[in-house]
Structure 1
Amino acid sequence: MNRVKGIRRHPLKSAAAEHVEAARIGKHGLDGDRTWVCVDADGTIGSAKQPRLWGALLDVDAAYDPDGDGVLVTAPNGLSGAAGTPEADAAVSEWLGRPVTLTRTAPQQLKRHHWWPDEPGMIPEWAADAVSGGDAVVAVRHDAADGRFFDFGPLHLVTTGALDRLSAEHGAAVDPVRFRPNLVLDLPGDPEPGQRLTVGEVAVQVLVPTPRCVIPSIAHRGNPNDPALLKTLAKHHRRDVPDFGRATCFGFYAEILSEGVVHVGDEVVLG
């Protein structure tokens, strides 16, 4: 029987995933997911898509309190504080080595730095002007209705079948943490765009496969740097993204059709 194998929440964008046994999923995704973001001195927001600036953020812990709607941020240096306080800003700033501010209010012009990998095939067709190995400042999606800092869809999923195939292609096990999903589903493969799934109490519809950036290949949460993973992804997982063009993809985004609570072990039904 197909089941939910893992649930991950990311209360602070580009910080480490919080692994939970159950979570409520509303119209805008998991409660508490990507509700906070770091802002740099130049006004851009923190994203490990530029690892030189933000790669270390992937090892910062952020824990969401569903009762109080607060987020406790703890850096590997041992410093911690509630998001929105000077203590949290100081903890993350010291860890990163420069002053940053945590906020859940979007800057007026929401932008981030993006580093384009120099591995052939890792630049999507819709970014044809991008320079391999170059840095760009790009506009960022913000769900103003619920204050979420998503890259695209409100729910990001991967399947065990796709992970198993990728591990075989790569010649080594690939940890799903590298792809920062919300749900890991024990399915033989990814469903297609437009297909519906019932996950516990929640119904979702697949939007598009997830275009990949440099993040899966960089070191975080016990996974070492693995630049060869980008080569594997580009070789085996270049595909069409409906309405956008070709890109190297892994996992998929989904739209939430009905709300509810999802638990690890819940049944997953396709169709």
Structure 2
Amino acid sequence: MNRVLGIRRYPLKSAAAEHIAEAVIGKHGLDGDRTWTCLDADGTIGSAKQPRLWGNLLEVEAAFNPSHGNSGGEVAVTVPGGMAAAAGSPEADAAVSAWLARPVRLTRTAPQQPRRHHWWPDEPGMIPEWAADAEPGSEAVVDVRAGAADGRFFDFGALHLVTSGALERLSAEHGSEVDPIRFRPNLILDLAADPEPGRRIALGSDVVLEVSVPTPRCVIPSIAHGRTPADRTLLKTLAQHHRIDVPGFGRATCFGFYADVLAVGAVKTGDPVQVS
């Protein structure tokens, strides 16, 4: 029987994953996922899609406590070598600012028009057709898609998933094992392949998802994620083997997929997975 292999939450956008054994999935994704972001001095939100500015944020730990506080829970933030501090406190702002070596502020309130810095990889095939005017190896400031109704800081979908079968094939194509951490998924499923858009996935006894679109990839899979070192050659493997047509958008290099939540509930590692 196919099962849920891993659950990962990112309480602070672009910070390290919180590996958890169970979670509640609501209409807008995992409870506590991407509820906070860093706000830079220029008003942009923090995203490791510009590693020069935000790559070190991937080493910052963020832990969601759903039982604490009156606004859906508290997030504790810890920089390497530091003490935990509550997101939104002066102590957390000071610690993250010192770690990134520039002043930032943690917030759960999006600017009126959220924008972020984006680095376009220079590897051929890594720029999607809908960004055909982008210059390889250049930076841009781009608008961020409007978040979910409860104020999450998603780039696109509320849930991002990868499958064990797709990871195994990518590792074979790349010639070495590829850690799923590079793709920052919410769920890792024991499936032979990624389900096609429109397919439904039942998790455990309550949760039902519907596959929306494959996930376009950026520079993030190639950079360092904590103890997982940078691998600049991974983008070449992705572009060579995983450039596909994204329905309604055009060709892009993709890995993993986004899913919408049709039925909410609790999910835990080991839960059965059924695709229909």
Residues 60-71 of structure 1: pairs in structure 2 closer than 5 A: 60-68=60-68, 69-71=73-75
| 1:35 matched to 2:35 | yes
Equivalent-residue separation in structure 1 for 2:146 and 2:95 (angstroms): 25
- Higher mean displacement: 218-227 or 41-50: 218-227
Asked if 2 retains the 8 angstrom alpha-carbon contact of 1:203 and 1:258, the reply is yes
Which ranges in structure 1 are unaligned for 5 or more consecutive residues? Answer: none
Q: What is the root-mean-square deviation of aligned Cα atoms in Å?
A: 0.7
The residue type equivalent to 2:62 in the other structure is: A
The residue type equivalent to 2:92 in the other structure is: A
1:196-255 CA-to-partner distances (Å, cap 9, x unmatched) read 110112000000000000000001121111010000000000001111000000000000
- Higher mean displacement: 73-82 or 111-120: 73-82
Residue equivalent to 1:209? 214
Kindly report structure 1 stretches of 4+ aligned residues shifted beyond 6 Å: none
Identity %: 73
Give the TM-score normalised by structure 2: 0.97
| 1:76 matched to 2:76 | no
Which ranges in structure 2 are unaligned for 5 or more consecutive residues? Answer: none
Q: Which one of the candidate residues 182, 186, 190 is aligned to 1:186?
A: 190
Equivalent-residue separation in structure 1 for 2:89 and 2:198 (angstroms): 42
Equivalent-residue separation in structure 2 for 1:143 and 1:135 (angstroms): 23
SS in 2 for 1:178: helix
Q: Which one of the candidate residues 85, 90, 99 is aligned to 1:86?
A: 90
1:144 Cα deviation from its structure 2 partner:
4.7
Equivalent-residue separation in structure 2 for 1:15 and 1:24 (angstroms): 20
Aligned length: 271
Residues 16-165 of structure 1: pairs in structure 2 closer than 5 A: 16-68=16-68, 69-165=73-169
Residue equivalent to 1:235? 240
Asked if 1 retains the 8 angstrom alpha-carbon contact of 2:28 and 2:148, the reply is no
- Higher mean displacement: 197-206 or 140-149: 140-149
SS in 1 for 2:227: coil
Equivalent-residue separation in structure 1 for 2:190 and 2:94 (angstroms): 40
1:75-105 CA-to-partner distances (Å, cap 9, x unmatched) read 0131431000001101110100000000000
Asked if 2 retains the 8 angstrom alpha-carbon contact of 1:80 and 1:91, the reply is no
